[in-house]
Amino acid sequence: MRLARRVALVLIVDLALQVVACAPRPIQTRTAPEPASQGHDLSDLIVLLPDPDSGTVGRATVSNAFGMVDLAGARAATVVARNQAPAPVTTLTDAELQLAIGSAFDALPPAPQNFILNFRFDSDELTAESRAVLPEILQTVKRRPVPDVLVVGHTDTTGPPARNVALGLKRAEIMRKLLVETGLDASLIEIASHGEADLLVPTADEVAEPRNRRVDITVR
Same domain, 81 and 153: no
| Average pLDDT of the residues of the chain | 80
**pTM of full prediction above 0.75:** no
Give the CA angle between residues 128, 129, 134 to the nearest 5°: 90
Residue of higher predicted confidence among 53 and 200: 200
166 vs 43 pLDDT, higher one = 166
Do residue 159 and residue 142 come from a single domain? Answer: yes
How many C-alpha atoms does 132 have within 13 Å on its Cβ side? 3
Of 82, 106, 130, which residue constitutes the final position of a domain? 106
**9 in helix, strand or coil?**
coil
d(CA 175, CA 135): 13
Residue at a domain's end among 106, 139, 159: 106
| pLDDT recorded at residue 107 | 64
Name the strands in the sheet holding 149-154, side by side, starting at the edge strand that comes first in the sequence: 113-118, 214-219, 149-154, 189-195
- Mean pLDDT along residues 167-182: 92
pLDDT of 36 reads: 40
Mean of pLDDT values over 97-112 = 71
* Cβ neighbour number for residue 193 with a 10 Å cutoff: 22
Residue 55 burial (CB < 10 Å; 0-12/13-18/19+)? exposed
Does the pLDDT of residue 5 top 70, yes or no?
no
Give the pLDDT confidence score for residue 26 in this predicted structure: 37
Question: Measured between alpha carbons, how far is residue 26 from residues 19, 51, 72, 198, 201 in Å?
Answer: 12, 11, 16, 25, 30
- Listed residues 106, 131, 153: the one ending a domain: 106
Phi, psi of 43, deg, nearest 5: -125, 160
The more confidently predicted of residues 205 and 13 is 205
Our CA angle for 38, 40, 41, nearest 5°, is 115
pLDDT for the residue numbered 57: 81
Residues 12 and 98 in one domain: yes
Q: Are residues 86 and 122 in the same domain?
A: no
* Domain co-membership, 90 together with 185: no
CA 68 from chain centre, in angstroms, equals: 28
**Residues 145, 117 share a domain:** yes
Q: How confident is the model at residue 177 (pLDDT cuts 50, 70, 90)?
A: very high
Non-local (6+) Cβ contacts of 123 within 8 A are none
Q: What is the pLDDT, as a whole number, of residue 49?
A: 83
* Structural domains of the chain, count: 2
Residues 29 and 6 in one domain: yes
Could you give the count of Cα atoms lying within 13 Å of 80 in the half-sphere of its Cβ?
A: 27
Rounded CA separation 30/16 (Å)? 8
- Are residues 162 and 89 part of one domain? no
Average pLDDT over residues 151-167: 95
Kindly report, residue by residue over 202-211, the tens digit of the pLDDT. 999 999 999 9
**pLDDT, tens digit, for every residue of 48-86?**
888 766 678 888 888 889 999 999 888 899 988 888 999
Residues 86 and 174 in one domain: no
Question: pLDDT, tens digit, for every residue of 111-158?
Answer: 789 999 999 888 878 899 999 998 999 899 888 888 899 999 999 999
Tell whether the model's pLDDT for residue 20 goes beyond 70: no
Q: Based on the fold, state whether residues 94 and 43 are members of the same structural domain.
A: yes
Residue 22 has pLDDT above 60, yes or no: no
Give the pLDDT confidence score for residue 74 in this predicted structure. 87
Domain ranges, residue 152: 113-219
Share of the chain above pLDDT 90, in %: 42
CATH number of domain containing 202: 3.30.1330.60
Task: Clarify whether residues 58 and 93 are in a common domain.
Answer: yes
State percent of the chain over pLDDT 70. Answer: 76
Same domain, 180 and 200: yes
Phi then psi for 135, rounded to 5 degrees?
-60, -35
